[in-house]
């Protein structure tokens, strides 16, 4: 991928770093989340903060947001001025820092205008809001960043890309006035803002980040996507087990070197898969599935086959796993299994699906799948509780041992079955939930963005575990917007547009660039094919 322009405009020579941290540590009971961390972010720089799941990235961001107090002894300077730690929750704005957290922090039921001007409105005289003035200010902001969104639309009505853009613009606007007042650069910290976005959306976000950096402020960017990191960052700092394990200029690092610095080993060949077109025994036929956003679709899945569902955001592919599991109600459709069983999908429920030994790993795992207040071992073994009862008593010891073994296999850190799920980092919580379903050996595994937020090393392990289970006969349907992930994992990929399957890639056609290309040509295909469903078939 081509690197964006590295032209700088207004950074005076000899300017101090925007942010400097030294000896920052954070201990949560037995966990040393950060251990004497040092971080330097220069003015006008896009700085990547990388590391495996649980390496301490979010903890560091939360210290800067005044959410966590670090252990005593840490040093912080902002634009060369000492800042005393811990920060309070209002310090960051005064200093000129703002944040975009993973959930973007927008209010879905409010309009673009209200979200953009929320803090100004809240700080002003809210007995009389001058909407004409607010509208003009919001339009000026949108124009300044070249973003074309209707400001009266509610946030939940606009695209995922535009939502992310609005969150980033708002973060930058929050610091702009302070920076103009002090003449000092500010810092926007982005914690994985790009998941789920198609390539074109990521490109727009990156242009915006560059625009911010070109005006002398800095951006700190957390991501597990190495290609994105290579494309957008100037320099990266890498955390491993709470310590800084490296700092490097991006242009001096190859992709493999970067991965090695993050996971502490080379990925080897495990992440690639040979794509010869294979034949599978039939396992399931989905016939005439109709549901919200899906006018009609038919899918066949072989026994042991891994099929990917993809398309541009909003094309409907992401709804299919939920409709098959009964987590969203289908209007009609049949699921026919090769053994002769047939299910009316309009009456499917998650309880029925679990009874049939189907499993669903939803995309929004923290809220839809795991129970944060329950311990790791309870979360892992929840669907199997029956098998751990003896004489009316739950055999906690056996459950803990099993959970620890699974934790080792899936590299959960820290591997302590008695911790609450909520105490794990996002990626580690995901590993627990993936382990939970794979342990059950489901007949049909339905995945939505299965390795979202999971680091590159663990991602390879998870794919290997899924492939192993598929080799033993488990069928997999995986919805994902990540072409690279689909190419690594799937035997066959179905491309959706406007709720219909418009393309099918098999064999050598299951390749990152071809998948991306198929997503972009999908809209033409649906226009040409509508209203029927004649899909192209590409075996490459
Ligand atoms: N509130 C908490 N209580 C106890 N332990 C915590 C808490 N928050 C984080 N930790 C622990 O601190 C360590 C660092 O977690 P952190 O969330 O910072 O990792 P991360 O690098 O952001 O990971 P990911 O890429 O998965 O988001 C982990 O071992 C985690 O379990």
Dihedral, CA of residue 239, residue 169, residue 212 and residue 60, to nearest 10: -20
Closest CA to ligand 1's atom 17: 425
> Using 50, 70 and 90 to split pLDDT, how confident is the model at 313?
low
Residues 6+ apart with CB under 8 A from 176: 186
Joined together, the tokens standing for residue 169 give: 């613009």
Q: What spacing in Å lies between the alpha carbon of 103 and ligand 1's midpoint?
A: 17
Q: What spacing in Å lies between the alpha carbon of 439 and ligand 1's midpoint?
A: 24
Residues 6+ apart with CB under 8 A from 405: none
Q: Which residues pair with 306 in a beta bridge?
A: 476
> Using 50, 70 and 90 to split pLDDT, how confident is the model at 62?
very high
Q: Which residues pair with 477 in a beta bridge?
A: 307, 446
Pick from 24, 25, 27, 28 the residue to mutate for probing ligand 1's pocket: most ligand atoms within 8 Å of its CB.
Answer: 28
The pTM score is 0.74
Output the pLDDT for position 492.
Answer: 96
Joined together, the tokens standing for residue 126 give: 């809210």
Q: What spacing in Å lies between the alpha carbon of 491 and ligand 1's midpoint?
A: 34
> Where exactly are the structural domains of the chain?
19-109+186-263, 267-357+441-540, 365-440
Ligand 1 atom nearest to 424, measured from its CA = 31
Q: Is the pLDDT of residue 5 over 50?
A: no
Q: What spacing in Å lies between the alpha carbon of 396 and ligand 1's midpoint?
A: 25
Q: Is the pLDDT of residue 138 over 90?
A: no
Output the pLDDT for position 2.
Answer: 39
Q: Assign 379 to helix, strand or coil.
A: helix
Q: What spacing in Å lies between the alpha carbon of 421 and ligand 1's midpoint?
A: 11
CB 365 within 8 A of CB 352: no
Q: Is the pLDDT of residue 273 over 60?
A: no
pLDDT in tens, 461-508: 788 889 999 999 999 999 998 888 899 999 999 999 888 999 999 998
Output the pLDDT for position 47.
Answer: 97
CB 220 within 8 A of CB 237: no
Joined together, the tokens standing for residue 280 give: 């599978």
Output the pLDDT for position 3.
Answer: 42
CB 69 within 8 A of CB 86: yes
Q: How many CB atoms lie within 10 A of CB 45?
A: 25
Spatial strand order in the sheet of 294-302: 294-302, 282-291, 332-337, 342-344
Q: Residue 450: what are its φ and ψ, rounded to 5°?
A: -65, -25
**Range picked from 22-31, 128-137, 520-529 for highest mean pLDDT:** 22-31
Ligand 1: which residues within 6 Å by Cβ? Answer: 28, 31, 33, 51, 53-59, 413-414, 423-428, 453
The 8-class DSSP code of residue 404 comes to: H
Q: Is the pLDDT of residue 126 over 80?
A: no
Output the pLDDT for position 220.
Answer: 95
Output the pLDDT for position 178.
Answer: 76
Q: How many angstroms separate the Cα of 521 from the Cα of each of 78, 241, 387, 515, 540? A: 47, 43, 49, 10, 16
Closest CA to ligand 1's atom 18: 56
Q: How far apart are CA 328 and CA 235, in angstroms?
A: 43
Q: How far apart are CA 527 and CA 439, in angstroms?
A: 43
pLDDT in tens, 191-234: 887 665 666 677 878 888 888 888 888 999 998 888 889 999 99
CB 509 within 8 A of CB 331: no
Ligand 1 atom nearest to 414, measured from its CA = 29
Q: Residue 378: what are its φ and ψ, rounded to 5°?
A: -70, -40
Q: What spacing in Å lies between the alpha carbon of 409 and ligand 1's midpoint?
A: 19
User: In which element (H, E) is residue 493 found?
Assistant: strand 492-497
The 8-class DSSP code of residue 424 comes to: S
Q: How far apart are CA 25 and CA 30, in angstroms?
A: 13
Q: Is the pLDDT of residue 282 over 60?
A: yes
Closest CA to ligand 1's atom 27: 426
Greater confidence, 221 or 31?
A: 221
Lowest mean pLDDT among 62-66, 373-377, 438-442: 373-377
Q: Is the pLDDT of residue 532 over 50?
A: no
Q: Is the pLDDT of residue 6 over 60?
A: no
Tell the CATH topology of 19-109+186-263: Rossmann fold (3.40.50)
Q: What spacing in Å lies between the alpha carbon of 60 and ligand 1's midpoint?
A: 10
User: In which element (H, E) is residue 324 found?
Assistant: helix 320-325
Instruction: List, as one string, the DSSP characters of 59-92.
Output: HHHHHHTTSSPPPTT-EEEETTEEEPSSPPTTHH
Lowest mean pLDDT among 121-125, 292-296, 451-455, 532-536: 532-536
Closest CA to ligand 1's atom 5: 423
CB 333 within 8 A of CB 290: yes
* 19-109+186-263 and 267-357+441-540: identical CATH topology: yes
Q: How far apart are CA 106 and CA 166, in angstroms?
A: 9
Output the pLDDT for position 187.
Answer: 94
ipTM higher than threshold 0.95: yes
CATH H superfamily, domain 267-357+441-540: P-loop containing nucleotide triphosphate hydrolases (3.40.50.300)
Residues 6+ apart with CB under 8 A from 150: 112
Output the pLDDT for position 527.
Answer: 53
Q: What spacing in Å lies between the alpha carbon of 169 and ligand 1's midpoint?
A: 27
Q: Is the pLDDT of residue 328 over 80?
A: yes
Average confidence (pLDDT) over 15-36: 93
Q: Assign 150 to helix, strand or coil.
A: coil
Output the pLDDT for position 44.
Answer: 92
Q: How far apart are CA 243 and CA 55, in angstroms?
A: 8
Average confidence (pLDDT) over 253-261: 87
Greater confidence, 266 or 478?
A: 478
> Using 50, 70 and 90 to split pLDDT, how confident is the model at 367?
very low
Q: Is the pLDDT of residue 270 over 60?
A: no
pLDDT in tens, 71-94: 999 999 999 999 999 998 778 888
Q: How far apart are CA 38 and CA 243, in angstroms?
A: 9
Closest CA to ligand 1's atom 24: 53
Residues comprising the chain, all counted: 540
Q: At what angle do helices 131-144 and 160-182 cross, to 10 degrees?
A: 100
CB 354 within 8 A of CB 516: no
Output the pLDDT for position 529.
Answer: 52
Residues 6+ apart with CB under 8 A from 398: 388
């Amino acid at each position: 991928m081509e690197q964006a322009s590295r032209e700088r405009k207004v950074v005076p020579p000899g300017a101090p770093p925007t942010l400097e941290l030294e000896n920052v540590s954070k201990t949560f009971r037995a966990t040393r989340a950060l251990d004497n961390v040092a971080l330097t972010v220069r003015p006008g720089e896009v700085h990547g903060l990388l590391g495996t799941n649980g390496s301490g990235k979010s903890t560091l961001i939360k210290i800067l947001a005044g959410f966590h107090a670090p252990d005593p002894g840490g040093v912080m300077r902002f634009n060369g001025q000492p800042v005393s730690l811990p920060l309070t929750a209002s310090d960051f704005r005064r200093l000129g820092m703002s944040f975009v957290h993973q959930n973007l922090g927008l209010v879905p039921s409010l309009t673009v205008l209200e979200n953009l001007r929320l803090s100004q409105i809240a700080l002003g005289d809210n007995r009389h809001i001058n909407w004409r003035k607010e509208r003009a200010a919001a339009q000026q902001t949108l124009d300044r960043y070249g973003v074309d969104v209707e400001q009266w639309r509610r946030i939940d009505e606009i695209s995922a890309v535009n939502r992310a853009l609005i969150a980033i613009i708002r973060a930058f606007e929050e610091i702009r006035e302070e920076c103009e007042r002090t003449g000092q650069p500010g810092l926007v910290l982005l914690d994985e803002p790009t998941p789920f976005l198609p390539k074109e959306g990521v490109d727009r976000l990156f242009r915006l980040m560059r625009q911010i950096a070109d005006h002398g402020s800095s951006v700190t960017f957390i991501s597990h996507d190495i290609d994105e990191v290579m494309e957008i960052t100037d320099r990266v700092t890498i955390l491993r087990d709470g310590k800084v394990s490296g700092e490097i200029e991006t242009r001096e690092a190859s992709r493999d070197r970067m991965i090695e610095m993050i996971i502490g080993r080379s990925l080897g060949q495990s992440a690639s898969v040979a794509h010869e077109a294979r034949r599978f025994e039939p396992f399931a036929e989905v016939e005439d599935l109709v549901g919200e956003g899906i006018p009609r679709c038919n899918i066949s899945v072989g026994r042991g086959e891994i099929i990917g569902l993809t398309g541009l955001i909003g094309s409907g592919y992401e709804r299919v796993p939920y409709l098959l599991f009964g987590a969203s109600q289908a209007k009609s459709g049949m699921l026919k299994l090769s053994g002769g069983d047939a299910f009316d999908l309009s009456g499917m429920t998650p309880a029925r699906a679990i009874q049939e030994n189907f499993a669903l790993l939803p995309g929004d795992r923290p809220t839809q799948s795991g129970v944060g207040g329950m311990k790791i071992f309870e979360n892992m073994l929840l669907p199997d509780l029956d098998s751990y009862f003896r004489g009316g008593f739950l055999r906690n010891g056996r459950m803990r041992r099993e959970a620890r073994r699974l934790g080792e296999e899936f590299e959960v850190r820290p591997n302590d079955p008695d911790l609450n799920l909520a105490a794990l980092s996002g990626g580690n919580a995901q590993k627990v939930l993936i382990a939970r379903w794979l342990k059950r050996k489901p007949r049909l595994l339905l995945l939505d963005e299965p390795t979202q937020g999971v680091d590159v090393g663990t991602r390879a392990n998870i794919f290997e575990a899924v492939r192993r289970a598929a080799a033993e006969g488990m069928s997999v349907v995986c919805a994902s917007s990540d072409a690279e992930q689909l190419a690594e994992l799937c035997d066959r990929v179905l491309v959706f547009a406007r709720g219909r399957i418009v393309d099918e890639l098999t064999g050598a056609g299951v390749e990152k660039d071809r998948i991306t290309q198929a997503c972009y040509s999908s809209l033409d295909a649906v226009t040409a094919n509508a209203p029927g469903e004649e899909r192209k078939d590409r075996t490459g």
